[in-house]
């Protein structure tokens, strides 16, 4: 089969941990957008959800930092954070080990990726999964892009990763949904936490929706750090999804800057042909 859904969303822990601190009208829009995506994923009838996220020193550390990693396990436990703080109960997320291995074999034709048989999910995975798969009833294949520790993978290589994901989906007889989670501008765990550069975010989302490769890759890490903070490096997850759906254009379902969530809350999807 192939790719049956491609979308992106925010994963800031404040979305669940401090949900009541958004303005009521923003909260309504954000909740409605996640609900819309929940239904869109269900309507696409996927066999698995491949989640491209930016891990945050929960599994990968400076002793060994892969640019790209794919989970190949029977299950994943999360959240690694305090469930009471994150307001997400711990659960065991089903994996898709055989399918992950199959996809990896195709991806490796074009991109070098690490693979992992152990992986604990942090908020980067668990906030979207909690909101989008409340019944925990769809196998998940995690993909991590190093958005954390320099040297970061170049955006062109991230785009190539997305193309490799698509090629692997096309080669599989399974129906696969792809979700990118992260960014856009944010300054987590710094004195600037809560700062949001909405203009920069909107410009990036416009480029994402046009799915114009050259415009998406036209960011230097120095520019991103200046305009989008260190959290802005997570644009990589969105770029990978855009590359996986290269022939599609996107639609922004929600963009609500919420300082209490420390991010511009984004939910967006590619229009699948």
Identify which of residues 54 and 242 has a Cβ nearer to Fe ion in the complex. Answer: 54
Identify which of residues 211 and 230 has a Cβ nearer to Fe ion in the complex. Answer: 230
Identify which of residues 52 and 242 has a Cβ nearer to Fe ion in the complex. Answer: 52
Identify which of residues 3 and 58 has a Cβ nearer to Fe ion in the complex. Answer: 58
Least gap, CB of 14 to Fe ion (angstroms): 11
Least gap, CB of 108 to Fe ion (angstroms): 26
User: CA dihedral in degrees (28, 30, 34, 40; nearest 10)?
Assistant: 80
Question: DSSP assignment of the chain, as one string?
Answer: --EEEEEEE---THHHHTGGGS-HHHHHHHHHHHHHHHHHHHHT--SEEEEEE---SSS-BTTB--SEEEE--SEEEE-SS-HHHHT---EEEEB-HHHHHHHHHHHTTTS--EEES--B--HHHHHHHHHH-TT--S-EEEEEE--SSSSPPPHHHHHHHHHHHHHHHHHSSS-EEEEEE--SS--TTSTTTT---HHHHHHHHHHHHHT-HHHHT---HHHHHHHHTGGGGGHHHHHHHHHHTTT--EEEEEEEEEGGGTEEEEEEEE---
Least gap, CB of 54 to Fe ion (angstroms): 5
Least gap, CB of 58 to Fe ion (angstroms): 11
Please give the positions annotated as active site.
Answer: 123, 186
**Cβ-contact 11, 121 below 8 angstroms:** no
Q: How many CA atoms lie within 13 A of 233 on its CB side?
A: 22
Identify which of residues 103 and 263 has a Cβ nearer to Fe ion in the complex. Answer: 263
Least gap, CB of 202 to Fe ion (angstroms): 19
Identify which of residues 54 and 164 has a Cβ nearer to Fe ion in the complex. Answer: 54
Q: What residue ranges bind Fe ion (CB under 5 A)? A: 54
Least gap, CB of 146 to Fe ion (angstroms): 12
């Amino acid at each position: 089969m192939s790719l049956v859904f491609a979308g992106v969303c925010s994963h800031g822990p404040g979305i669940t941990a401090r949900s009541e601190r958004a303005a009521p009208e923003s909260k309504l829009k954000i909740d409605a957008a996640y609900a819309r995506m929940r239904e869109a994923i269900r309507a696409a009838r996927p066999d698995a959800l491949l989640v491209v996220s930016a891990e945050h020193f929960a599994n990968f550390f400076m002793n060994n930092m892969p640019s790209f990693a794919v989970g190949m396990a029977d299950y994943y436990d999360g959240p690694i954070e305090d469930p009471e703080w994150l307001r997400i109960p711990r659960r065991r997320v089903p994996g898709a080990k055989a399918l992950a291995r199959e996809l990896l074999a195709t991806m490796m034709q074009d991109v070098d990726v690490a693979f992992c048989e152990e992986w604990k999910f942090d908020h980067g995975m668990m906030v979207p999964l909690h909101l989008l798969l409340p019944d925990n009833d769809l196998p998940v294949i995690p993909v991590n892009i190093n958005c954390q520790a320099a040297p970061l993978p170049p955006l062109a290589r991230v785009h190539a990763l997305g193309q490799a994901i698509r090629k692997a989906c096309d080669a599989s007889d399974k129906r696969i949904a792809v979700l990118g989670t992260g960014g856009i501008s944010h300054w987590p765990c710094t004195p600037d936490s809560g700062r949001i550069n909405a203009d920069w975010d909107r410009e990036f989302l416009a480029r994402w929706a046009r799915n114009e490769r050259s415009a998406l890759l036209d960011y230097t890490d120095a520019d991103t750090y200046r305009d989008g903070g260190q959290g802005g490096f997570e644009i990589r997850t969105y770029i990978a999804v855009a590359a996986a759906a290269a022939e599609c254009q996107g639609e922004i379902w929600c963009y609500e800057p919420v300082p209490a969530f420390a991010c511009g809350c984004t939910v967006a999807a590619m229009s699948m042909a």
